[in-house]
Structure 1
Amino acid sequence: MEGPKRQKPYAKPQGERRGLLLVYTGDGKGKSTAAFGLALRAHGRGLKVRIFQFIKHATARFGEHRAFALLGIPVEGLGDGFTWKSQDLDRSAALAREGWQRAKEALLSGAYDLVVLDEATYPLRYGWVPLEEFLEALSARPPHVHVVVTGRGAPEALLALADTVTEMRKVKHAFDQGVPAQRGIEH
């Protein structure tokens, strides 16, 4: 046990305020959930938010889609679901490339203060979206635009470019104990 801190444990940063690149990666749960929490925080402060999901399909209606729709935050599914369920990986790759073009346009437009690129590490890892093009777009975005990239196995070059990287690490998971996914809690 320890007592509460009585003095601020850090000095106030003196750097510029600018759009940040945050990466949530790792094998633990919570990458998308953290990104969605940040999206809610930004929306609550009046920032304009746009979310792209690279694996979810365009007609997905998961809990986050329903909640964001009520708040007026656009969420666009760019994929066709889990790759192991895909009937045509060439189609999955084409959807990722087409979706990346829409996401890149939104990112570079400056119309949004926060752009979430959920599950974007997967098309990067599979070679469906060129890593160099992805990194160039992140670097070329308007200075006020914050970006969150989520997904397992984030490429080292993306981690190097990021301002903040959080790695989610699985310590224990109910699924490993035979508990199936539960609607509204985890999937």
Structure 2
Amino acid sequence: MVSQLETQATGSNRHSYTIGGLIQVFTSPYRSFFTNVMAQALGIAGQGRTVLVVQFLKGGIGQGHEHPVKLGQNLDWLRCDLPRCIDTAEIEDTEMLALLDLWRYTQSVVAEGKYSLVVLDELSLAINFGLIPETEVLAFLENRPCHVDVILTGPEVSESIRNVADQITELRRSDRP
């Protein structure tokens, strides 16, 4: 999200400040623990901003980027074109091609500036499995359009990604009833 703040000064002096998009990290040792991220994405789409949710390791529905699920007019939801959900670094060549195809597509549409929020679900796990290079993710975050907010989710987020994040939220289960 980009905001332009203008302050009125006495005389003809005007100052403008630009606030760039945020990088948020939501991490937890548990998978499927990010309902609040999805609620945030839906809320932002409901406010009229465009949102892209990309689930890199979820499959089973033969979707791919060619067949996005549209939730309302502002939210596109993509899953990898896989016959199953990925839970290991050992994947078939066709699964790797589908994953890299989704990653390339994501990079492309984000670079176009079409979306104001992009949720990259379980991207840290894809990095940890060695399926998507961390250097590419860091370059993607650095080079995205300045108005784009990014949310990354997944367990065990690397220190390099934590260092570029504006906000880190660690989710945990409580032992209290």
Q: Same fold (TM over 0.5)?
A: yes
Moved more, 164-173 or 87-96: 87-96
Question: Counterpart in 2 of 1:165?
Answer: 168
Residues 1:110 and 2:131 are matched in the alignment: no
**Residue identity matched to 2:76:** P
**Residue identity matched to 2:57:** I
Q: Name stretches of at least 5 consecutive residues in structure 2 with no aligned partner.
A: 1-16, 64-68
- SS of the residue corresponding to residue 116 of structure 1 reads strand
TM-score, normalised relative to structure 2: 0.75
Residues 162-185 of structure 1: CA deviation (Å, up to 9, x unaligned): 111101112349xxxxxxxxxxxx
Question: Counterpart in 1 of 2:47?
Answer: 45
- d(CA) in 1 for partners of 2:77, 2:60: 9
Residues 78-108 of structure 1: CA deviation (Å, up to 9, x unaligned): 1533335999443333222111101111221
| Alpha carbons 1:28, 1:170 under 8 Å: kept | no
| Greater strand fraction, Structure 1 or Structure 2 | 2
**Residue identity matched to 1:41:** G
CA spacing shift, 1:17–1:82, aligned 2, 3 Å: same
CA spacing shift, 1:44–1:84, aligned 2, 3 Å: closer
- d(CA) in 2 for partners of 1:27, 1:138: 23
Question: Counterpart in 2 of 1:154?
Answer: 157
**Residue identity matched to 1:129:** I
- d(CA) in 2 for partners of 1:92, 1:59: 13
Question: Counterpart in 1 of 2:138?
Answer: 135
- d(CA) in 2 for partners of 1:49, 1:55: 19
Question: Counterpart in 2 of 1:21?
Answer: 23
Of residues 76, 80, 85, the one that matches 1:82 is: 85
Q: Name stretches of at least 5 consecutive residues in structure 1 with no aligned partner.
A: 1-14, 62-67, 174-187
TM-score, normalised relative to structure 1: 0.71
Q: Percent identity, aligned pairs only?
A: 27
Q: Deviating runs (4+, > 4 A) in structure 1?
A: 28-31, 84-88
| Greater helix fraction, Structure 1 or Structure 2 | 1
C-alpha RMSD over aligned residues = 2.8
- Would you say how many aligned residue pairs link Structure 1 and Structure 2? 154
| Alpha carbons 1:27, 1:170 under 8 Å: kept | no
Of residues 118, 123, 128, the one that matches 1:120 is: 123
